Copies of this chain bind each other. A is one copy, B any other.
Amino acid sequence: MKIKTTVASSTFCNLARQKQQAIVKEMVREFAAQGYKKASINTIVKNLGIAKGSLYQYFKNKETMFYFVFEQFIRLVKDSIKQGVSLDDKADFFVQVRKVMETALNFVDRYPDYFQIYLQILFEHDVPRRRELLAQVRLFSRDYFGPLCLAAREQGRIRDDVSPAMLIFVLDGIIDRLLQDYVRPLVDSSLELQKMGLKERTGGIDEIIKILRDGFRG
């Protein structure tokens, strides 16, 4: 099974699978840790033990390397969505939100570095073709949550004194926080889900859903 890409050279595509994977892994690691601009090609080749010229035979330039990695990220996301979630208008809204949270958590659990790269793109304003890249991602938010939220509201599962924009804002915010907390816990307010087993994790998500549904009031 050949690797799918629109930007890597044929030389790279014909590389031994093992070497290929090592290169991808190291590029992902470096871009995840440093973002686009701060990422160092010298560091990448040093860690791989290959010459810089070699890397530049595989990819035209730094921007292409980044885009290649991003391509892989998009592919993984799409695969995860296909496998993990099936939109079902009839199911309870909060059950569906729950499913989305679990799918998203599974993704960042499996591919934390790829998720970090996504965060880097969100945060770094001078990433090449940033707008275009982000437009490709709007997964949990627009393509997914948008329709889900609108449907839920029309079906009366959501109080009608809450605007759709606000619903999306809060849900998206909570999920984002959940994922970021998973890969990069802050000292102050962490659920530490990444330290838990599957069962506790499920319990944590349950609690969040409960809050979203019924609020904090005692």
Q: How far is the CB of A109 from chain B (nearest CB, A)?
A: 18
Verify if A166 is at the interface (C-beta below 8 Å from B). Answer: yes
A residues 140-156 in Cβ contact with B at 8 Å = 141-142, 145, 153, 156
A146 to B170 alpha-carbon distance, docked (Å): 21
A residues 83-131 in Cβ contact with B at 8 Å = 94, 119, 122-123, 125
Residues of B contacting A174 in the complex (Cβ-Cβ under 8 angstroms): 170, 173-174
Surface stretch bound by B, among A2-10, A47-55, A183-191: A183-191
Residues of B contacting A153 in the complex (Cβ-Cβ under 8 angstroms): 218
A residues bordering B, Cβ < 8 Å? 33, 37-38, 94, 119, 122-123, 125, 134, 138, 141-142, 145, 153, 156-163, 165-170, 172-174, 176-178, 181, 186-191, 204, 207-208, 210-218
A211 interface neighbour in B162, B176, B218, Cβ under 8 Å: B162
> B122 touching A186 by the CB < 8 A rule?
yes
A34 to B176 alpha-carbon distance, docked (Å): 23
A38 to B218 alpha-carbon distance, docked (Å): 47
A158 to B207 alpha-carbon distance, docked (Å): 14
Known contacts A38-B37, A162-B210, A189-B173; is A216 also within 8 Å of B138 by CB? no
> A159 touching B218 by the CB < 8 A rule?
yes
A142 interface neighbour in B38, B125, B142, B188, Cβ under 8 Å: B188
Residues of B contacting A186 in the complex (Cβ-Cβ under 8 angstroms): 122
